[in-house]
Amino acid sequence: MTQDIIDDVTRERYDAAGFGRPVGLGSKPALLIIDVQYRTTGTTPAPFDRAIEEFTTSCGDVAWDAVANIRRLLELFRSKGWPVLYPYVAPKKAFDAGALGAKVPGIMDIPDQGYEFHPDIAPLEGEILLPKRHPSAFFGTPLLSYLVQAGVDSLVVTGCSTSGCVRGSAVDAFSYNYKVAVPSDAVYDRSPLVHEVNLFDMGQKYADVSTTAELLGSLQAIGA
Amino acid sequence: MTQDIIDDVTRERYDAAGFGRPVGLGSKPALLIIDVQYRTTGTTPAPFDRAIEEFTTSCGDVAWDAVANIRRLLELFRSKGWPVLYPYVAPKKAFDAGALGAKVPGIMDIPDQGYEFHPDIAPLEGEILLPKRHPSAFFGTPLLSYLVQAGVDSLVVTGCSTSGCVRGSAVDAFSYNYKVAVPSDAVYDRSPLVHEVNLFDMGQKYADVSTTAELLGSLQAIGA
Amino acid sequence: MTQDIIDDVTRERYDAAGFGRPVGLGSKPALLIIDVQYRTTGTTPAPFDRAIEEFTTSCGDVAWDAVANIRRLLELFRSKGWPVLYPYVAPKKAFDAGALGAKVPGIMDIPDQGYEFHPDIAPLEGEILLPKRHPSAFFGTPLLSYLVQAGVDSLVVTGCSTSGCVRGSAVDAFSYNYKVAVPSDAVYDRSPLVHEVNLFDMGQKYADVSTTAELLGSLQAIGA
Amino acid sequence: MTQDIIDDVTRERYDAAGFGRPVGLGSKPALLIIDVQYRTTGTTPAPFDRAIEEFTTSCGDVAWDAVANIRRLLELFRSKGWPVLYPYVAPKKAFDAGALGAKVPGIMDIPDQGYEFHPDIAPLEGEILLPKRHPSAFFGTPLLSYLVQAGVDSLVVTGCSTSGCVRGSAVDAFSYNYKVAVPSDAVYDRSPLVHEVNLFDMGQKYADVSTTAELLGSLQAIGA
């Protein structure tokens, strides 16, 4: 799909300017599973238009395809004993409205069930929970302290939305000089156009973007 | 142009989900002029393909159109005595390579002249300079301290690139709960597609996006 | 007591070097009540040696004197409608050990009751809660976003410990260019020497240090 | 000297509460040399009272003793190829006044020569320079990005002042979960009381405090 959405002029210009070189992985990756809660997946797979009737923040059935891929990554990380962290949207209190409540008022009224983790990727005892109030998983959270403690050098960023919390987290991770990998089919968003252009931006400037299958191969090769 | 690039499905979904409400301005705005240096504008207006022969980071002649609009905003801010801040790309030292040098190697070798400010918007004595090494103007800089000192509540974000430092700064400003305005014709990027989709993303989630002309009207109305 | 603990050479040197000028308050203060939980006060007033039998992190009966003063400040802030924020120690999970667990192992095993707020200053509905894992109330929390949202320009820092979370928060607040006031008898610590020298340091470099009574007078004069 | 300044009650209380356990070093340390510029050492060794006639921010001849110890650490780090970073006070512009200029007005008027590095520890080509405007070396600087890039797990914090930028940096480094070592005779301050109590605080809560000689031994044992 990327082929169709990203036009030739755009591709040619980024190539000519020398962007988008691969960065690779280091030796100690961590997995971020961002905002994979019912509020973004819905409690059952449904097309977008129906999904937003349950939670206005839902992305619909594309979320469920991504969850299956996140699950594959999660199983690898658990089997390797690599860190798994869950930055997630903290239930909103009235005092959290701020700029977000002004821009997207409905986001303040998501029913409680929306904040539950999707059961296919739900955290195990000992996996790190990071309630957050802003897009980036680093913003206003102690994420960095956990990464330093674990001696991490690479981050696999999954979840939702591609253009929101995934991208915000990838930009910050890049700025902190982590090696960042974004599996294109383990992140999801509410529009194909927005999803693809944000993957393109990340791949050109901040992260290595590949399929989950390709990334699983690279991860399995670490230390081998 | 936005009309053509953002498809109907995308617009309808964001509307249905309740994104993109206007936030407005507060009573004390500051102007950020980000990375408006020869390295992104070139020393003369030129089409993209020729511009990158001078500096690979150049966006070509679209930059010059934006600079004219930034200049109009700058004149208003100076006449009102509102803060003007210049986050800009610090000349690269070898130790700055990091994730950026891995992703975009050529960015480490921009000639010195590329780091000069475009003369049409060059800072005056007393305007605040913020050398930076990462996309967001807030990342690894004391920007926030200057904003607190000045009692600012709103930020007008201009410069380059729409998808890079402008967006990164807008997301952080939003996360800190500043009211953010992005004038669509006072920011620039190397591809129309990327420029427009990033404006769309910011307008839906993080900022009010309008033309410079519209924004000048809103700014002049402050305190009137 | 300060008179006795801070020696003349120290006072003379800071005076000669020009430190310690008063900064004053702005027009919109916020109150930080830091870590005033049973884990630092105990569930009843007791001398230090007995208090640490209940919670090893307890400061003993000096805490209760401070709580009475915090209460006076809290009542003023509530009556004025100024923001009140509660940065507090989040209950520790195993993954929180990190550098803190290495330095002070016992801090990982405080009983649940220790995390309850002291009832005399407990938050009301709508007052802002900030669970934290590190000394400064700004570190790994969204505190700054709440302060920007509220348009705050001054911070009154109270609670515990003077040398730990109070000082860490005061240094960060100063670095962000907030006007910082520390009421000397509304903060507490486990040793008089450490308490006094940390008040001295803050008063010379980062904050205005006065009694609660004096500070109440200054606060009441705002906008009058 | 610590023995005299820290009273028995203080020591007993921290011991009883279980503070001050040793943390040790990891496998990849970095050296921070903070603010060792003529503005804190003077251009020649002199007693405090004379030293502040040259620069009001000078600590006098204690600085020169510390510089000799920093030099020993620096030589080891250079011989091992471990990272050396120089957070230093950036020359003040008028717009930098802020809370610091209010608290310590004279600090805004230090002559240019004061900002030069002390020649005994001056940076070599390739060592990382970090101009800063606030106490902590992490605050408003990209320090963390350099540490992540270098894969550092431990920080040796040296320089000036013990109660100011050294302590501020140590608290932040601790909060990020770095293992922190502070060599007591390679940091300096303007008063013995303040110096010693701040070393005590850091040793109890944030860092391992030892002599330079002891620390050199521990560093040499890394990887051996």
Assign 3-class secondary structure to D128-141.
Answer: EEEEECCCCCCCCC
> Does the beta-carbon distance from D102 to C23 stay under 8 Å?
yes
As given in the structure block, the two tokens for residue C177 are: 């260019």
Average pLDDT in the D203-218 region?
98
> Does the beta-carbon distance from D142 to B139 stay under 8 Å?
yes
Percent of chain D residues topping a pLDDT of 70? 99
- Reported as type and span, the H/E element at residue A160 is strand A154-160
Does the structure show a pLDDT above 80 at B4?
A: yes
Q: How many CB atoms lie within 10 A of CB B94?
A: 9
Degrees to nearest 5, angle at CA B21 with B15 and B26: 170
Residue the block writes with tokens 């702005």: C26
Active site residues of C: 165
Q: Which of D205, D14, D209 is nearest to C165 (CA)?
A: D205
> Does the beta-carbon distance from C10 to D179 stay under 8 Å?
no
- What digits encode the pLDDT tens for the residues D131-188? 999 999 999 999 999 999 999 999 999 999 999 999 999 999 999 999 999 999 999 9
Work out the minimum CA distance from D119 to partner chain A, whole angstroms. 31
HSE-CB at A218 with a 13 A cutoff on CA atoms is: 23
Neighbour-count burial for A193-203, b at 16+ CB within 10 Å, e otherwise: bbbbbbbbbbb
What is the value of pTM for the model shown?
Answer: 0.97
Work out the minimum CA distance from B130 to partner chain A, whole angstroms. 16
Q: At what angle do helices C212-220 and C62-80 cross, to 10 degrees?
A: 0
CB C86 within 8 A of CB C31: no
Write the ipTM. 0.96
Q: Residues, chain B, total?
A: 224
Burial of D59 by CB count in 10 Å (0-12 exposed, 13-18 middle, 19+ buried)?
buried
pLDDT at A59: 97
- What digits encode the pLDDT tens for the residues C146-159? 999 999 999 999 99
pLDDT at D126: 87
Neighbour-count burial for B198-211, b at 16+ CB within 10 Å, e otherwise: bbbbbbbbbbbbbe
Give the whole-angstrom CA distance, residue B9 versus residue D47.
75
Give the whole-angstrom CA distance, residue B59 versus residue A17.
10
pLDDT band at D1 (very low <50, low <70, confident <90, very high): very low
Dihedral over alpha carbons A208, A213, A217, A222 (to 10 degrees): 50
pLDDT at C63: 98
Set of chain D residues whose Cβ sits within 8 Å of the Cβ of A177? 145-146, 148-149
Does the structure show a pLDDT above 50 at D223?
A: yes
pLDDT band at B2 (very low <50, low <70, confident <90, very high): very low
SS3 C13: helix
Write out the DSSP string of D84-103: EEEEEEPPPPGGG-HHHHHH
* Below-70 pLDDT ranges, chain C: 1-3
SS3 C188: strand
Residue of D nearest to B149 (CA): D98
Report the residue from B95, B129, B142 with minimal CB separation from D146. Answer: B95
Work out the minimum CA distance from B111 to partner chain C, whole angstroms. 35
Domains and CATH numbers, chain C: 28-220 (3.40.50.850)
Does the structure show a pLDDT above 80 at D34?
A: yes
Burial of B126 by CB count in 10 Å (0-12 exposed, 13-18 middle, 19+ buried)?
exposed
Degrees to nearest 5, angle at CA B105 with B99 and B109: 120
Q: How many CB atoms lie within 10 A of CB D52?
A: 21
C220: DSSP letter: H
pLDDT digit string (tens) for chain A, length 224 residues: 445 899 999 999 999 999 999 999 999 999 999 999 999 999 999 999 999 999 999 999 999 999 999 999 999 999 999 999 999 999 999 899 999 999 999 999 999 999 999 999 999 998 999 999 999 999 999 999 999 999 999 999 999 999 999 999 999 999 999 999 999 999 999 999 999 999 999 999 999 999 999 999 999 999 87
State the average pLDDT for chain D: 96
Chains near A (3 or more Cβ pairs under 8 Å): B, C, D
- What digits encode the pLDDT tens for the residues A139-180? 999 999 999 999 999 999 999 999 999 999 999 999 999 999
pLDDT at D2: 47
Set of chain A residues whose Cβ sits within 8 Å of the Cβ of C133? 142, 145
Give the whole-angstrom CA distance, residue D10 versus residue D196.
13
- What digits encode the pLDDT tens for the residues D68-112? 999 999 999 999 999 999 999 999 998 999 999 999 999 999 999
> Does the beta-carbon distance from D168 to C171 stay under 8 Å?
yes
Write out the DSSP string of chain B: -HHHHS-HHHHHHHHHHT--------S-EEEEEES-BHHHH-SS---HHHHHHH-TT--TTHHHHHHHHHHHHHHHHHHHT--EEEEEEPPPPGGG-HHHHHH-GGGGG--GGGGSBPGGGPPPTTSEEEEESSSSTTTTS-HHHHHHHHT--EEEEEEE-IIIIIHHHHHHHHHTT-EEEEETTSEE-S-HHHHHHHHHHHHHHT-EEE-HHHHHHHHHTTT-
pLDDT at A4: 83
Q: Which of C164, C153, C146 is nearest to C202 (CA)?
A: C164
HSE-CB at A200 with a 13 A cutoff on CA atoms is: 27
pLDDT band at B223 (very low <50, low <70, confident <90, very high): confident
Report the residue from B144, B151, B153 with minimal CB separation from C176. Answer: B144
> Does the beta-carbon distance from A206 to B98 stay under 8 Å?
no
CB D20 within 8 A of CB D204: yes
pLDDT at D56: 96
Set of chain D residues whose Cβ sits within 8 Å of the Cβ of B140? 140-145
> Does the beta-carbon distance from B151 to C148 stay under 8 Å?
no
Residue of A nearest to B174 (CA): A99
Set of chain B residues whose Cβ sits within 8 Å of the Cβ of D89? none
Average pLDDT in the B91-100 region?
91
Degrees to nearest 5, angle at CA A175 with A209 and B155: 110
Give the whole-angstrom CA distance, residue B206 versus residue D51.
52
Chains near D (3 or more Cβ pairs under 8 Å): A, B, C
Q: Which of A156, A143, A169, A152 is nearest to A208 (CA)?
A: A156
pLDDT at B224: 75
Report the residue from C95, C133, C143 with minimal CB separation from A126. Answer: C95
pLDDT at A1: 44
Work out the minimum CA distance from C204 to partner chain D, whole angstroms. 7
Percent of chain D residues topping a pLDDT of 90? 96
Report the residue from B98, B128, B140 with minimal CB separation from D149. Answer: B98
